[in-house]
Amino acid sequence: MTATSTGEVLISLHNVIKEYETAAGAYVALRGINLRIDRGEFVAIVGKSGSGKSTLINMITGIDRSTSGEVRVAGVDLGGLSEGKLAVWRGRTIGIIFQFFQLLPTLTVAENVMLPMDFCNIGTARDRRTRAAALLERMDLSEQADKLPAALSGGQQQRVAIARALANDPPLLVADEPTGNLDSRTADSIFHLFEQLAEQGKTVVMVTHDKDLSNRAGRAVVVADGQIVDPPVHPPVA
């Protein structure tokens, strides 16, 4: 359903190629990707396992670098940033949500949410606590704030991960199979959260296997064998 595109380009990839050296030789994960995502869009990236969709997300988040081509996100050419600058930029610009939640096991729920603000030196300690509490309340997790992640269900952990992704109020949320490890009911509630965030003006890029969920996104980008398949209109998913 939703997509409130403003027409302002937030993400643009031009002829992006990514090769990996493996024991078996060079492996091309992305073969000349061209993609544009506007600010406020809710985009689902779909494709079979090994198609290159996670690699594509890694290009957008700057977690990995392209072998050639240009990746620009929020007006910044990621290829021109050092690892250190990239980390700071990422912390302030992108909220990342992983399939397996990836919360730090030794920090409480609230501390996990405060951590990005801590690393990016956003606000005072009091501001961070207040914001973390607000985000957790929004995720209906206030009572879990002082618990360690291991004490929470999968759905709760993913909501903590979303709260953490929102901590620095980034314009872009990137989620890699955020519902892949959840039951359908919980997955639906998590997806609904993303819909709400997109409606509130966040740009959401989500990798998913779920055909129904991808259908609910504003746009679906299909990736197969390292390329975006044309026409990119809700293809069948694996």
**Residue 133 found at the interface with another protein (CB under 8 A):** no
Query: Quick count: other Cβ atoms within 10 Å of Cβ 214?
Result: 23
Shortest Å distance, C-beta 54 to another protein: 9
Task: Report which residue type is found at 48.
Answer: K
From candidates 39, 131, 164, 202, binder to another protein by CB under 8 A: 164
**Residue 114 found at the interface with another protein (CB under 8 A):** yes
**Residue 120 found at the interface with another protein (CB under 8 A):** yes
Helix axes 125-138, 154-166, angle to 10 degrees: 130
Decide whether 30 or 167 has the Cβ nearer to another protein: 167
From candidates 32, 76, 119, 211, binder to another protein by CB under 8 A: 119
Q: Do 195 and 42 meet the contact criterion of CB atoms below 8 Å apart?
A: yes
From candidates 44, 52, 56, 58, binder to another protein by CB under 8 A: 58
Residue 98 three-state SS: coil
Give dist(CA 45, CA 53) in Å, integer.
7
From candidates 38, 41, 111, 195, binder to another protein by CB under 8 A: 111
Q: Do 97 and 158 meet the contact criterion of CB atoms below 8 Å apart?
A: yes
Looking only at the bridges linking them, the beta strands covering 68-73 and 9-22 are: antiparallel
Decide whether 46 or 165 has the Cβ nearer to another protein: 165
Give dist(CA 10, CA 23) in Å, integer.
36
- Residues contacting residue 179 through CB under 8 Å, at least 6 positions apart: 158, 186, 187, 190, 191, 208, 210, 213
From candidates 17, 28, 63, 229, binder to another protein by CB under 8 A: 63
**Residue 83 found at the interface with another protein (CB under 8 A):** yes
**Residue 56 found at the interface with another protein (CB under 8 A):** no
Give dist(CA 110, CA 114) in Å, integer.
6
**Residue 88 found at the interface with another protein (CB under 8 A):** yes
From candidates 1, 125, 233, 238, binder to another protein by CB under 8 A: 125
Would you tell me which residues interact with another protein (CB under 8 A)? 23, 58, 61-65, 83-84, 87-88, 90-92, 96, 98, 102, 104-108, 111-112, 114-116, 118-120, 125, 164-165, 167-168
